[in-house]
């Protein structure tokens, strides 16, 4: 009966590709281009594009994204690989770390295996380095990058399809995934026509829906101070728990509270709870003013102060307001100085006006400065 169900579902099933890359002949040998790597690179490019659009709209300086990405991307890849190695250690260190594994497999990223949380943690460290060098806030960058990060994950997951890896358990659903019985990832002892849950597709669709949700929520609520990033973490881990539970590949098992399950499941649960707490706390302490992308002492305001020796806001008296100040194009004269019949200031006031510093108006005048920290 089960064989009949498999046969009926097979015409509607998802085939695995027979192609996983191509070779480029070189004078010194063959360069292998893996489809898995192409998916990762395409995800990075598209994710950077979305991040660039959002980062620019938040008032970030031109070109700063690339100065941050040059740190974040390499460290993110290293972190993702290290997390995968230690969450699925048998192939690298042997069962129970008995030394029978192959350590040379660790740098072979093209064979598959990048753990998202390692990539996020070390990638965030790289982003912090880039932001700190530029005088920008890491939280502002993470908020701008959150939808792009989820979009990159949605695209990168298709690399698992090309590698025929990280699929779920057997299923009779019409969208079951075919796996080549000759593949080293095909579970031993199962019939050759067995279909499996396409967890790569589940996660890709979940992530794409998440991109739309994050963009809509951000447009409505204008999340700042890292709150959109923590919302991303909550959304992703919520999906990752049930998707990870479907997988049957080898993974480190952890027992907590009497429950044994995959390390990635526990990681997702704890990250979700931590992200929820931080999201709520940041919401309670949310600033009432617009959040600048610049760190204190950096950005356009710093440049004006450095050039003029004058703080743009310090010239407004405690008893006055900016709304009562003269227009920027008004004459550099005392606002209360009398005028003659022709509208000219008497000559005895001219020396006083001439002595006013450039860019100031009267005793309590104001210097115009750029609108730093403007958000959209």
Instruction: Determine the Cα–Cα distance for residues 335 and 346; give it in Å rounded to an integer.
Output: 13
The answer to whether residue 345 is domain-embedded is no
Q: What is the pLDDT of residue 89?
A: 81
* Helical (H) or strand (E) element with 331: none
Site of tokens 């281009």 = 33
Q: What percent of the chain is modeled with pLDDT above 90? A: 45
| pLDDT value at 374 more than 70 | no
Q: Indicate the average pLDDT of the chain.
A: 79
Tell which wins on pLDDT, 169 or 365.
169
Lowest-pLDDT range, 4-18, 135-149, 223-237? Answer: 4-18
Band the pLDDT of 169: cuts 50, 70, 90: very high
The answer to whether residue 136 is domain-embedded is yes
Q: What is the rounded average pLDDT of the residues 93-121? A: 81
Q: What is the pLDDT of residue 32?
A: 84
CB 209 within 8 A of CB 243: no
Tell which wins on pLDDT, 314 or 71.
71
The answer to whether residue 271 is domain-embedded is yes
Classified as helix, coil or strand, 170 is strand
The answer to whether residue 362 is domain-embedded is no
Q: What is the pLDDT of residue 337?
A: 44
The answer to whether residue 230 is domain-embedded is yes
Site of tokens 């450039």 = 358
Q: What percent of the chain is modeled with pLDDT above 70? A: 75
The answer to whether residue 339 is domain-embedded is no
Q: What is the pLDDT of residue 287?
A: 60
Q: What is the pLDDT of residues 236-277, one digit of tens each?
A: 999 999 999 999 987 777 888 888 888 889 999 999 999 999
Tell which wins on pLDDT, 83 or 91.
83
Count structural domains, the chain. Answer: 1
* Helical (H) or strand (E) element with 249: none
What domain range includes position 153?
Answer: 2-179+193-284
Q: What is the pLDDT of residue 171?
A: 95
Classified as helix, coil or strand, 328 is coil
The answer to whether residue 188 is domain-embedded is no
Q: What is the rounded average pLDDT of the residues 331-355? A: 44
Band the pLDDT of 101: cuts 50, 70, 90: confident
Band the pLDDT of 232: cuts 50, 70, 90: very high
Beta strands in the chain (DSSP E): 21-26, 29-34, 177-178, 195-196, 253-256, 259-262
Q: What is the pLDDT of residues 193-211, one digit of tens each?
A: 999 999 999 999 999 999 9
User: Going by C-beta distance under 8 Å and a sequence separation of 6 or more, which residues neighbour residue 29?
Assistant: none
The answer to whether residue 149 is domain-embedded is yes
| pLDDT value at 294 more than 60 | yes
CB 123 within 8 A of CB 60: no
């Amino acid at each position: 009966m089960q064989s009949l169900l498999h046969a009926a579902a097979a015409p509607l099933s998802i085939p695995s590709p027979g192609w996983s890359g191509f070779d480029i002949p070189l004078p010194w040998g063959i360069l292998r281009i893996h489809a898995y790597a192409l998916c990762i690179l395409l995800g990075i490019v598209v994710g950077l594009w979305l991040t660039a659009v959002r980062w620019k709209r938040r008032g970030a300086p031109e070109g700063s994204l690339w100065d941050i990405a040059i740190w974040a991307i390499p460290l993110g890849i290293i972190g993702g690989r290290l997390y995968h190695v230690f969450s699925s250690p048998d192939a690298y260190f042997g069962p129970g770390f008995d030394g029978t594994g192959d350590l040379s497999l660790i740098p072979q990223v093209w064979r598959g295996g990048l753990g998202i949380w390692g990539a996020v943690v070390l990638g965030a460290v790289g982003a912090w380095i880039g932001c700190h060098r530029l005088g920008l806030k890491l939280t502002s960058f993470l908020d701008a990058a959150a939808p792009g990060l989820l979009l990159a994950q949605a695209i990168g997951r298709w690399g698992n399809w090309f590698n025929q890896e990280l699929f779920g358990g057997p299923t009779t659903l019409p969208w079951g995934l075919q796996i080549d019985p000759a593949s080293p990832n095909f579970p031993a002892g199962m019939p050759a026509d067995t279909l499996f849950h396409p967890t790569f597709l589940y996660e890709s669709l979940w992530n794409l829906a998440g991109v739309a949700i994050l963009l809509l929520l951000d447009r409505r609520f204008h999340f700042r101070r890292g709150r959109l990033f923590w919302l991303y973490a909550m959304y992703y881990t919520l999906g990752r728990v049930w998707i990870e539970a479907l997988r049957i590949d080898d993974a480190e098992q952890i027992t907590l509270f009497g429950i044994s399950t995959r390390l990635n499941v526990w990681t997702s649960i704890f990250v979700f709870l931590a992200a929820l707490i931080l999201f709520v706390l940041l919401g309670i302490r949310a600033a009432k003013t617009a959040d600048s992308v610049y760190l204190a002492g950096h950005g356009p305001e710093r440049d004006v102060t450095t050039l003029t020796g004058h703080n743009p806001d310090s010239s407004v008296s405690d008893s006055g307001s900016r709304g009562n100040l003269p227009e920027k194009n008004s004459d550099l004269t005392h606002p209360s100085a009398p005028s003659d019949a022709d509208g000219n200031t008497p000559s005895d006031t001219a020396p006083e006006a001439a002595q006013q510093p450039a860019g100031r108006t009267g005793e309590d005048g104001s210097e115009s400065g750029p609108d730093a920290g403007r958000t959209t």
